Amino acid sequence: MKIKNSIIWFLEGIVIGLANVTPGVSGGTMALLMGVYERLINAINTIPLKGSLSIFRGEKKKFIEKVKAVDYEFILPLVLGVGLATLVLARLIGTFIEEYQAVTFSFFFGLILASAGTLYHKIDDFTLPIFLSGIVGFFFSFYLVGLSPFDATHTLPIIFLSGFVAIPSMILPGISGSFVLILLQQYKFLIDALNRIDIPVIIVFMSGALTGLFSFAKIIDFLFKSHKMATLVFLFGLILGGLRAPVLSSFEADPTFLEWVLPAALGAILVSILDSFYRLNPQ
């Protein structure tokens, strides 16, 4: 059973990794759809980054207990899947966007729209304050997507900041971390750095990413435990507002009716199949 679960989590990591590298698609949305989002956040928060200080205070036993408490059986295969998908897709995504922009972003639109539908089924409370949180999420995401790219250099401090900002976005449903990197004008640079294995750039980016990830995970954990419905509705609004990104990108390439409808339908069908599978096989 453990081997089967590990394979499933590895494959789910691949889905999350594919979403993270794809502009306009959120890995957090995919994690939420597959029912592993809250466990992922909890697993990140159990990693004892500050636990090493316990050793210097002579609390070796306490540190070992924290290390053992990490959800390794879940987080390791998931991270391996995310890493593999990132490396593979980094070599493909640029080609698809450049050669088939309209079709690619139409497909993304279908993915995101169907993801919003799957999240809607998890919401069972629509009081006025909760509804307003969704409105705020929608307009925040809609506005963010409409921003023009910032002028930015590729210095190491900027790369660190990009990692700090973008990676938390990748685990937040509705906001595409890849799109944040595009706004910061770092996406193509980082994809190229990954393909040529530019170690200094990768290390600096990952340092910023891990710093932002572990900081942001605690906030998400608090919100899910204290204001779960309001958080879900806010995320639902984020996803709907984020649809502006693939629509704008697709129509820039002036698609035909079929180039818009068919890929969008395919994306929606794939997410619906995933959603149906996880409804019938809850984790």
| pLDDT above 60 for 46 | yes
- 177-232 pLDDT per residue, tens: 777 777 677 877 888 888 788 888 889 998 888 888 877 777 877 887 788 788 88
CA dist 273 and 275 (Å) reads 5
| pLDDT above 60 for 283 | no
Q: Tally Cβ neighbours within 10 Å of residue 155.
A: 10
pLDDT grade for 265, boundaries at 50, 70 and 90: very high
pLDDT grade for 262, boundaries at 50, 70 and 90: very high
* Cα dihedral 93, 96, 98, 101 in deg (nearest 10): -120
Q: Quick one: average pLDDT of 22-38?
A: 75
pLDDT grade for 150, boundaries at 50, 70 and 90: low
Residue in 6, 71, 60 with CA at minimum distance from that of residue 217: 71
Q: Tally Cβ neighbours within 10 Å of residue 256.
A: 10
| pLDDT above 80 for 234 | yes
| pLDDT above 80 for 136 | yes
Phi-psi map region of 275: left, alpha, beta (phi>0 left; psi -120 to 50 alpha): alpha
- Whole-model pTM: value is 0.68
